[in-house]
Structure 1
Amino acid sequence: MTESAPVNRPLRALLVGAGGMGRGWLRTIRAYDEVELVGVADLNVATAKAALDEAGASEVPVGQTLEELADAVAPDFVVDVTIPEAHHPVTMEALRRGLPVLGEKPLAATLTEALELTAAAQAYDRLFMVSQSRRYNGHLFAYRRQLLQLGRLGVLTAEFFKAPHFGGFRDAMDHPLVLDMAIHAFDSARFLLDADPVSVYCEEYNPPWSWYAGDAATTAIFELSGGLRYVYTGSWCSPGQETSWNASWRASGEHGTARWDGDGPPTLEIVEGREAAPNSDDPSVDPHPGIAGSLREFVAALRTGSTPMGTARDNVMSLAMVHAAIASAKAGGRVHLADILEQAYTQARAQATGPVADALAGWTSVSPPG
């Protein structure tokens, strides 16, 4: 960013989207004394008013759109909790106005739009961070520290088995598990391994008793940089002995194994005759949980200029894992992430305009520049 946010007052937040997740964000913003909620935008103004009434904040201004409220309430940043199809127009408008954005996952509805928004954050020199909220978990951080003690890693597995009856849009989606949920585990794997995906082989299927229209179960095998393997197996129609929403994890390395059930503390076993390597990761950095952790890290980044987890440049690789897995399932074969990114980059170059097009043209590879 070109300048740091004010340090002598709470930062002014404009919330866009007042649905179920929007209400969660509204409560989180109001609970944090470093932030002041100055407006709520929702296409259904009655929904925005009801959310504020419920939170005891009826005095906060409401409107249908970011454009309607931004000039009047003068926010320091925008929190985008709209539906995925609206992430691109809302975030692009905010960045054009010079407003940093903290957005809900997914970064965008398509990988092409994700690359455009990543380029827009670069072009307008403003922070765009995606709240990958399941990263903000003290047990996940502890598990990452344990993996450092395993020496060279071979494979990381995640199992996810739940049976939620959502109703609504998820029941009608083509790829409900991979598109709506698996990104959490994919992103956590990148965080745990500090590695990026190279290729994937994925199969999607729908058990005969499934209440979803699209494939609700999948297995994906990712190759990551350094030759690591990450295997994800999950189902959203698997009643009984369900896993944590954070999945159940196992890592195998040259010195032993580390496991995490997704809820409690992780466990580590170093094989006999080996000593655990020194723990180089400071446990004091364990985060505030969930979206509260996202908000705090975002505000700290605005105030100090530090680089938070979940910048658009970083998060686009987690989203690329989702779209590569879907492409592999459709093709029935292995898919390289570079090919998926190249296709999205070509499309983004074709449709971007102005400073965003200039930023994309300056990239030396299809991956966003660091």
Structure 2
Amino acid sequence: MSFRTIPCSPADPLRVVIAGAGGMGRAWLATVADSPEVTLAGIADLDVALARDAADAAGLPDLPVGTDAVALARQTGAQALINVTIPEAHHPVTTAALFAGLPVLGEKPVAENVSRALSMAAAAEVTGELFMVSQSRRWNPQLAALRGMTARLGAIGTVSTAFFRSERFGGFRDLMPYPLLVDMAIHAFDSARFLLRAEPVTAYCQSYNPPWSWFAGDANATVVFEMEGGTRYVYNGSWCSPGDITSWNGTWRVSGERGTALWDGDHEPVLDAEVAAGEAAGSSYSGIAGALQVFVRALRTGEPPSGEVHENVMSLAMVEAAVRSATSGRVERLDDVLERAHAQALGEETRADVRNALAGWTSVRDVLAGPERVETG
């Protein structure tokens, strides 16, 4: 998808408004403050006192704040929006921004469900504005190095991630039906797509809650995805596993015809293979700061970035397929998830132009695929 470019550089920084003044919003505020390519024009939050407090805490007492991100952008002359609201607000906030002529960099997940995500992809098409999702693990240099190793292993049989933590969050996560799958697993699912340069075909999931769990919903899950080309991706994780916890990135094993690559999630990956060691391709980007750099670069050059909304939706579809499988006890086809979401998006869409764009999609998978949109740095 092509999108409108904006001339910007350290000499002429991109002016942005941040929507959302909670914990993650403040992390983005610090990231913007550290970037020479971006300048903060304002902070919006439904709780304007929270927005003012965030500005004051950042040493910006005169920074404009407000409750409406688009109105604040117009008032301040901002050129783009960083959407760090709760997932249920991603669709209305991002869609309003796109139709106001503001490109958007949004936090993951792209939306609360796939149907909303498809609506947002169509809105980006209609408006010609960039909507990129900050799937921050994409910008981990060690993951990029693991991807380089994976490409040298020939045909890949299995990729596996083990994720075991003991987290007492309190609040909404403790009450979610599938806290691990919905709140955390998308990072690993998206990373698997990135590693394999392949999309999921089917998902089979068993989720459960051990008797000592402090979560109301299933805190444990094992998911097997069949990927294009026949590779299996296996995710095995728990939010309530005391002792010997893994990295927040999980621990990874890539098993291929020429050997194995291993990553503990925190240090450089290791190659045990029949190929010469050599240098694994890395990345010059890291974390949400890397996502911001890539967003600005895309707006400057017009090159579609990794995380562009069409490219990102399939990671959320993996979550939805896993949850459906955990509920049904059956293998779920990703194409079925996409088709149901497309029908729902068509039925719920209130904008005629977006609905017409959705109606013109003959294959959702093909629309989401497009050209490869992976920036490795």
TM value normalised by structure 2: 0.94
Report the CA distance between 1:319 and its aligned residue. Answer: 0.3
What does residue 92 of structure 1 align with? 95
| Aligned-partner Cα distance in 2 for 1:127–1:2 | 6
Partner of 2:226: 223
Instruction: Please report how far the alpha carbon of residue 298 of structure 1 lies from its aligned counterpart in structure 2 after TM superposition.
Output: 0.3
- What's the secondary structure of 1:239's corresponding residue? coil
Q: How does 1:24-173 map to 2 (within 5 A)?
A: 24-173=27-176
Q: Distance in 1 between matches of 2:308 and 2:71?
A: 27
CA distance in structure 1 between the partners assigned to 2:340 and 2:47 by the alignment: 36
2:101 aligned counterpart, secondary structure: coil
Task: Note the C-alpha offset of 1:282.
Answer: 4.3
Divergent runs of 4+, >3 A? 274-279
- Deviation, structure 1 residue 70: 2.4
**1-side partners of 2:3 and 2:192: how far apart?**
32
Checking the alignment, whether the CA contact within 8 Å between 1:149 and 1:278 is kept in structure 2 is no
The one-character-per-residue Cα deviations of 1:198-241 (angstroms, maximum 9, x if unpaired) are 00100110010001111000000000000110000000000100
Q: SS at the partner of 1:241?
A: coil
Equivalence for 1:318:
315
Equivalent residue for 1:364, pick from 362, 365, 369:
362
Give me the CA root mean square deviation. 1.3
Partner AA of 2:318 in structure 1: M
Aligned counterparts, 1:204-283, within 5 A = 204-270=207-273, 274-276=274-276, 282-283=281-282
Q: Give 3-state SS (helix, strand or coil) of 2:167's partner.
A: coil
The answer to whether the 8 Å contact 1:4/1:303 transfers is yes
**Structure 1 residue 288: deviation in Å?**
2.5
Q: Deviations over 1:41-100 (max 9, x none)?
A: 001111111111111111110001114312211211100000011001000100111111
Output one character per residue of 1:294-345: Cα deviation in whole Å (capped at 9) or x when no partner. Answer: 0000000001101111111011000000000000000001000000110000
CA distance in structure 2 between the aligned counterparts of 1:287 and 1:333, rounded to whole angstroms: 41
Residue type matched to 2:347 in 1? A
Percent same amino acid at aligned positions? 54
Contact 2:220 2:238 in 1 (8 A): yes
Quick one: which amino acid aligns to residue 193 of structure 2? R
Query: Within 1, Cα distance between the matches of 2:79 and 2:243?
Result: 46
Instruction: Please give the TM-score of this superposition, normalised by the length of structure 1.
Output: 0.96
Report 1:4-19 matches (<5 A).
Answer: 4-7=5-8, 9-19=12-22
Partners of 2:145 and 2:281 within 8 A in 1: no
Q: Give unpaired runs (5+ residues) of structure 1.
A: none
| Structure 1 position 361, deviation (Å) | 1.4
Unpaired segments ≥5 residues, structure 2: 371-377
CA distance in 2, matches of 1:190, 1:161: 21
CA distance in 2, matches of 1:64, 1:256: 54
* SS in structure 2 at match of 1:258: strand
Match of 1:184 among 183, 187, 197: 187
Alignment counterpart, residue 329 of structure 2, candidates 328, 332, 343: 332
Secondary structure at the aligned position of 1:222 is classed as strand
Give the match's secondary structure for 1:149: coil
